[in-house]
Amino acid sequence: MIGRKVRNEENFNKIIPDVKGREIWDDAIKFRIQQKQNEWFTFLNEICKLSDPEWIFEPVDIIIEIGSYDGGSTVALSHVTKELITIDLEPTPRFDEFGYPEDSDIKGSAYIRKNCKFLMTQPNSHNVTTFEEVKQILNGRKVDVLFINGDNSYEGVKQDFNLYSELVKEGGLVGVHSIIRSNFHEQYNCFVHDFWDEIKVKYDGVEIIDDFPLENTNAEWGGIGLIKITNELLKTIETDKNQPTIDKGSSILDNSSYMGGINY
């Protein structure tokens, strides 16, 4: 059954203390986060439950992030993990063009490394060489969370999901961003919703959706889908890799054109 979740303030406070929550979101805004606040903190809470079901804030061991753009999700995830591996197309991270704070000599990567061990690899997550590099970094370890927010075409998100899910440990999470079906997404060649609609019932997905539209527009955007990894699910994914796919766009969505730094 598909769950529809929004942030519960009482549970939010139990998992991520108020002061820590403000620190995480302040950092995320500095790095122009591309997610809605309520959706993002619900997602972070689910991550924290993996390491401490008693709801006391404790970072997980390893997270893989596909797609970082200005680094808002990257710096936020760095607060809830001991090690973060980010894959992005840019040879030099966009967030290394600036200081944090603005008048500081500390660039984005150095800022993130204050929170956790941080490695960034390029170029394309779809390349087998990139995947093998990530496996080499892990050296047999499994990750707690995979967050996919890179190529938002149907085929792009499907490739990332099918390729990297095997690196997630049993009981770990795969998060997929931009799952809402809307004309607004499609005008930016974002067809994540088509892939999500295919897998959410089959893999018992949970949807985190804040229905509040983008400020000053009627557009719907965002939404995070969650899949909990099991060994049986991984066998099904392996079978699905060989199934034919549909062509629903191939462009990488430039999230900054409509999402950057929105605070709800």
- Return d(Cα 22, Cα 134) in angstroms, integer: 31
pLDDT in tens, 95-131: 998 888 777 888 999 999 999 999 999 889 999 999 9
Domain range list for the chain: 3-253
- Return d(Cα 181, Cα 192) in angstroms, integer: 8
pLDDT of residue 1: 38
**120 token code pair:** 């960034």
| Tally of CA atoms within 13 A in the half-sphere of 225 that contains its CB | 26
Banded pLDDT at 243 (limits 50, 70, 90): low
The 8-class DSSP code of residue 252 comes to P
What is the average pLDDT across 3-26? 64
Q: What is the rounded radius of gyration, in angstroms, for the C-alpha atoms of the chain?
A: 17
Q: What is the CATH number of domain 3-253?
A: 3.40.50.150
Q: Using a cut of 0.75, tell me whether the model's pTM lies above it.
A: yes
Which one has a higher pLDDT value, 250 or 61? 61
Cβ atoms 95, 31 nearer than 8 A: yes
What is the average pLDDT across 58-74? 94
pLDDT of residue 139: 97
